[in-house]
Amino acid sequence: MALAMTGIDVKIVVLLVVGVLAMASYCATVSYDHRALVIDGKRRVLVSGSIHYPRSTPEMWPDLIQKSKDGGLDVIETYVFWNSHEPVRGKYNFEGRNDLVGFVKAVAAAGLYVHLRIGPYVCAEWNYGGFPLWLHFIPGIKLRTDNEPYKAEMQRFTAKIVEMMKNEKLYASQGGPIILSQIENEYGNIDKPYGPAAKTYIKWAANMAVSLDTGVPWVMCQQADAPSSVINTCNGFYCDQFTPNSNSTPKIWTENWSGWFLSFGGAVPQRPVEDLAFAVARFYQRGGTFQNYYMYHGGTNFGRSSGGPFIATSYDYDAPLDEYGLLRQPKWGHLKDVHKAIKLCEAAMVATDPTISSLGQNIEAAVYKTGSVCSAFLANVDTKSDATVTFNGNSYQLPAWSVSILPDCKNVVLNTAKINTAAMIPSFMRQSISADVEPTGAVGSGWSWINEPVGISKADAFTRKGLLEQINTTADKSDYLWYSTSIDVKDGYKADLHVESLGHALHAFVNGKLAGSGTGNSGNAKVSVDIPVEFASGKNKIDLLSLTVGLQNYGSFFDLVGAGITGPVQLKGSTNGTTIDLSSQQWTYQIGLKGEDEDLPSGSSQWISQPTLPKNQPLTWYKTQFDAPGGSNPVALDFTGMGKGEAWVNGQSIGRYWPTNIAPKSGCPDTCNYRGAYSADKCRKNCGKPSQELYHVPRSWLKSSGNILVLFEEVGGDPTQLSFATRQVESLCSHVSESHPSPVDMWSSDSKAGRKSRPRLSLECPFPNQVISSIKFASYGRPSGTCGSFSHGSCRSRSALSIVQKACIGSKSCSIEVSTNTFGDPCKGVAKSLAVEVSCK
Ligand code: GAL
């Protein structure tokens, strides 16, 4: 009998089928066992990367997530930033950069999973570790310990986030992307001083989290005493030696630090990709099945969100995606290859534990073998010596500090120290911002200004006896707190104004003039200054501007670390030798700046534009209009010429700027040796230079013309020197030897065909519409040096340049086999390589 259906019936049936299929293919069960996370009954080897949603813009998210997926990530990990979401108790913000649901959905749309680290303490170089300041003022509260008022708030916020996720069906158990959640953060590192209450707190936190019934597992990182209801995980530069506290939980690495954070006053950290790849491979070699890059994209600490003290505005982190969201090469590409290589071993890795054996001093083999599958990792953990080892009857070259991955226990698909990805040398193109400024009346500059008054100018100022701690006074409503007093002097005299502050920086004004400044640093926030001053007969005003540069985010009782001028404040007379202590006299206080109250950051109000623009004047607000630089490349502002302050573009804060805070002269090696254990100080660069000159202005904050830039300058600068810097790529470089493995992508076709492809050197211009425009260097034989300074060796093929030109010029990408087939043999019996540097236009 034929079934007769109307069009509407058909539609309904189709919808039903699609619906059921969607449910069936989406709702996932997530559990775990000793080996791995188990998703829908299958153990998985997963690669994850951290992207913190408020450190970029919603407009950037899809691209960052897609680049993460292209780089081989399965999971995006993010913290949840309590103080951004609940700046005032009970008043929530989930808009714009705080659109957590939007972010999680963007990850889902790309088909990736999410690890949601709720915390809600997060550390993260984020102001006050992510805690809202109002927590501190709840009567009887003690943070991060077994304390009822604290636990009530922590539970309320955690439950709120879980509820939000559930309402949007974002847990994997509901068909969403979230496969894992974290409660607390590295408490185990700092819990000793909290005494026995630490233990009860951690038990409570685990129970509380589990009771929220997300349907997916919870983790606690760096918590060896984590209860069995949660998975304890590892954070660090290496976690291969980590063992979970239970035999029934998998080995998970929640933070593999891909670089390190930058501080104002510090040099720029870098972690070589050879070492990062080594750490990753070592982890999977020794039984790990889930690792996360902290950070995969670090981004920017916009506004006053950075922690500290002294965390810089850039949170680039030397991550695989740079601050601007562009691929950092060869880091991104090499790690992508590492991920592919590891995934080729997944079947064997999930089937069994590795069998680990020594193949000699500092040489370790791990074999995953059951039934028909076998994968192996061979590691040389020696920091100096390369080695030749025999494994299963075959011989392998293992460079020092490297791991070779053998998906079939025989052929090497990748060695962590041999990079097939081309390096990109970034550069910034400077462009004046004043060129396209609309005339505002100020001669030649396009700038107007307003002076911020020295000392007390707001009606809500108040007077107290003695010196107040700053954070308890301002509740972090502003970076700034004025301490004002005056002294009566009978006869004029000279003295040293001695000021001691808990930090983080201060500017001292005497009789309205900047007399001196002092600043702490990331190692010691305290400030102590002795400023020579001359007092006139009569009344003399002393106005001290104390400021914070990001509140402490780490350590036991970090929330109680104070700031501000707690004294003593003294006048040490150089004329008469007496010391006058001003600490306990009457002081008048003003929280924040007048300009902040008047909303100058938005650009409104009456700005002064007269023929001469005040330059190098402290406490000055500046404003200008500008057109966005053409094109779509990321934009930064170069603050060279300015002192210290904060900047806003169209009312949005791009963060604190401080180009005059210079990194120490020494401590940056000429070349960075990736071999040997990495630490944050190992491979810094930019010694003796400003820690941060360039400040990211997200494209989506800009209109094509008529943008408003406002600066608040504390110490004095020349805003006409400001310029745009747009991110360019100067050149691409690659150096591939005959002993490099062939590209990872050849593995499957090679295995099927039973052949072994030769290594290839591949280049690809990063931006759309770009092609390789010139070959700056090409040499086949024994070239040496590094990108930008390659040189020919004694043995070289004379035709290398023309061969590379023919293969690459005019193309977006090219790929050349590195062998005598391509170049002939300039020196028989000698190991040869190909080095190339090209430009893209
Ligand atoms: C970890 C912490 C992270 C971050 C990191 C350093 O200890 O869990 O939140 O602060 O250090 O970047």
Q: Which tens digit of pLDDT belongs to each residue from 670-728?
A: 999 999 999 999 999 999 999 999 999 999 999 999 999 999 999 999 999 999 998 88
Q: Does residue 224 or residue 728 have the better pLDDT?
A: 224
CATH number for the domain spanning 774: value is 2.60.120.740
* Tokens at 813, concatenated: 């990408």
pLDDT for the residue numbered 268 = 98
Q: Are residues 307 and 345 in the same domain?
A: yes
- Per-residue DSSP letters for 278-327? HHHHHHHHTT--EEEEEEEE--B--TT-B-BTTB-SB--TT-SB-TTS-B
Q: Is 261 in the pocket of ligand 1 (CB under 6 A)?
A: yes
Q: What share of the chain is helix, strand, coil (3-state, %, to 5)?
A: 20, 35, 45
- Asked if residue 125 has its Cβ within 6 Å of ligand 1, the reply is yes
**622 & 582 share domain:** no
Amino acid at 713: E
Residue 131, token pair as written in the block: 């805690």
pLDDT value at 575 more than 80: no
Of 687, 710, 727, at which residue does a domain stop? 727
Determine if ligand 1 sits within 6 Å of the CB of residue 311.
no
Q: What is the pLDDT of residue 610?
A: 78
* Domains held by the chain: number: 4
Q: What percent of the chain shows pLDDT beyond 90?
A: 90
Q: Whose CA is nearest to atom 5 of ligand 1?
A: 124
Measured CA to CA, the distance from residue 769 to residue 812 in angstroms comes to 8
What distance in Å separates the CA atoms of residue 450 and residue 526, rounded to the nearest whole number?
31
Residue 303 gets the label, from left (phi > 0), alpha (psi -120 to 50) or beta, of left
For the stretch 92-103, pLDDT in tens is 999 999 999 999
Question: Counting atoms of ligand 1 from 1, which one is nearest the CA of 260?
Answer: 12
Q: Whose CA is nearest to atom 4 of ligand 1?
A: 124
Q: Whose CA is nearest to atom 3 of ligand 1?
A: 124
Q: What is the mean pLDDT of residues 654-668?
A: 97
Last residue of a domain, one of 525, 559, 591: 591
Query: Which CATH number does the domain housing residue 570 bear?
Result: 2.60.120.260
Q: Given this model, what pLDDT does residue 434 score?
A: 64
> What's CA 263's distance to the chain center, in Å?
12
pLDDT band, residue 255 (cuts 50/70/90): very high
Residues 76 and 178 in one domain: yes
The number of the ligand 1 atom at minimal distance from the alpha carbon of 185 is: 8
Does residue 346's CB lie within 6 angstroms of at least one atom of ligand 1? Answer: no
What is the pLDDT, as a whole number, of residue 513?
Answer: 96
* Beta-bridge mates of residue 645: 657, 713
Q: Is there a domain that residue 566 lies in?
A: yes
Nearest-CA residue for atom 7 of ligand 1: 186
Indicate if ligand 1 lies below 6 Å from the C-beta of 123.
yes
Q: What was the pLDDT predicted at 492?
A: 85
Res. 573 pLDDT band, cuts 50 70 90: confident
Give the CATH number for residue 679: 2.60.120
Structural domain contains residue 624:
yes
Helix, coil or strand: residue 678: coil
Query: Does residue 235 line the site of ligand 1, with CB under 6 A?
Result: yes
Based on the fold, state whether residues 299 and 345 are members of the same structural domain. yes
Instruction: Calculate how far, in angstroms, residue 123's C-alpha sits from the geometric centre of ligand 1.
Output: 6
Residue closest via CA to ligand 1's atom 9 equals 124
Q: Kindly give the interhelix angle for 100-109 and 61-70, rounded to the nearest 10 degrees.
A: 40
Active site (catalytic) residues: 186, 255
Can you give the pLDDT at residue 412? 97
Q: Are residues 640 and 771 in the same domain?
A: no
Parent domain of 652: 425-437+446-451+597-604+615-727
For ligand 1, say whether the CB of 565 is within 6 Å of any of its atoms.
Answer: no
Residues 6+ apart with CB under 8 A from 159: 212
Closest CA to 380 of 288, 278, 271, 276: 278
* Residue 340 pLDDT grade (very low, low, confident, very high; cuts 50, 70, 90): very high
Q: Look at residue 3 and tell me whether its pLDDT is greater than 70.
A: no
The verdict on 577 and 723 lying in the same domain is no
CATH number at residue 323: 3.20.20.80
Is residue 402 in some structural domain?
Answer: no
Per-chain mean pLDDT for the chain: 94
Report the Cα–Cα distance between both ends of the chain, in Å, rounded.
68
In DSSP terms, 424 is beta-bridged to 732
Pairing mode, strands 760-764 and 402-406: unpaired
- Express each pLDDT in 307-319 by its tens digit: 999 999 999 999 9
Q: Whose CA is nearest to atom 11 of ligand 1?
A: 124
Q: Could you tell me if 792 and 829 lie in one domain?
A: yes
Q: Which among 333, 352, 371 is the end of a domain?
A: 352
Indicate which atom in ligand 1 lies nearest the CA of residue 124.
Answer: 9
Q: Are residues 235 and 139 part of one domain? A: yes
Pair (432, 466) in one structural domain: no
Indicate if ligand 1 lies below 6 Å from the C-beta of 239: no
Helix spans in 386-502 (H): 470-474
The per-residue pLDDT for 392 is 96
**DSSP for 35-85, written as a single string:** S-EEETTEEE-EEEEEE-GGGS-TTTHHHHHHHHHHTT-SEEEEE--HHHH
- Give 650's Cβ-side CA count (13 Å radius): 14
pTM, to two decimals: 0.95
326 and 272 in a common domain = yes
Query: Is there a domain that residue 386 lies in?
Result: no
CB contact set of 677 (below 8 Å; sequence gap of 6+): 237, 238, 383
For β-strands 772-781 and 252-257, DSSP reports them as unpaired
Same domain, residue pair 101 and 244 = yes
The rounded distance, in Å, linking the Cα atoms of 480 and 470 is 9
Integer Rg of the chain from CA: 30
Judgement on whether residues 713 and 774 belong to the same structural domain of the protein? no
Answer whether 519 contacts ligand 1 (Cβ < 6 A): no
Report, as an integer, the average pLDDT of 48-54: 98
Amino acid at 103: F
Residues in the chain, overall count: 841
CA of 376 to the centre of ligand 1 (A): 32
Distance of CA 605 to the CA centre of its chain: 36
Structure-token pair, residue 782: 């024994």
Question: Which ligand 1 atom sits closest to the C-alpha of 554?
Answer: 10
* Phi, psi (deg, nearest 5) at residue 763: -135, 145
Alpha carbon of 236 to ligand 1 centroid (Å): 9
pLDDT in tens, 425-462: 988 888 888 644 444 333 335 899 999 999 999 999 99
Question: Cα(234) to centroid of ligand 1, in Å?
Answer: 12
Q: How far is the CA of 125 from the centre of ligand 1 (A)?
A: 7
**Does the structure show a pLDDT above 60 at 19?**
no
- Whether 750 is covered by a domain: the verdict is no
Tens digits of residue pLDDT in 378-419 = 999 999 999 999 999 999 999 999 999 999 999 999 999 999
The predicted model gives 734-756 an average pLDDT of 94
Q: Quote the tokens at residue 253.
A: 């690495």
Partner residues linked to 75 by β-bridges: 48, 113
For tokens 């004329």, what's the residue?
Answer: 575
Distance 195 CA to ligand 1 centre (A): 23
Chain segment 125-146, per-residue pLDDT in tens? 999 999 999 999 999 999 999 9
> Residue 13 phi/psi, 5° resolution?
-60, -45
Does residue 25 form part of some domain? Answer: no
Q: Is the C-beta atom of 124 inside 6 A of ligand 1?
A: yes
> Does the residue 414 lie in any domain?
no
pLDDT at 1 over 60: no
Is residue 186 within 6 Å of ligand 1 at its C-beta? yes
Q: What distance in angstroms lies between residue 79's CA and the mean position of ligand 1's atoms? A: 11
Which one, of 79, 178, 60, 176, lies nearest residue 121 by Cα? Answer: 79
Spacing, Cα 692 to ligand 1 middle (Å): 21
